[in-house]
Amino acid sequence: MQTILNSTRGLSVLFNLNWDRILYVLTCIVALCAGAWVGTLGIF
């Protein structure tokens, strides 16, 4: 039980330190997917 608590605490600290980088990567992925979807529409 102690190991589980320590690992979740460690993940929480890691997420708090790097949330902006995670958000940046997710934003890039969403933008690339949106661009690919618009590209398949054939409007332009």
- Determine the pLDDT at residue 12: 78
**Is the entire prediction scored with pTM above 0.95?**
no
Rounded mean pLDDT of the chain? 81
Cβ atoms 26, 19 nearer than 8 A = no
C-alpha distance from residue 25 to each of 15, 20, 21, 39 (Å) = 13, 9, 6, 21
DSSP-assigned states of every residue in 9-42: HHHHHHHHHHHHHHHHHHHHHHHHHHHHHHHHH-
Q: Rounded to an integer, what distance in angstroms lies between the CA atom of residue 1 and that of residue 5? A: 6
- pLDDT average, residue stretch 12-33: 86
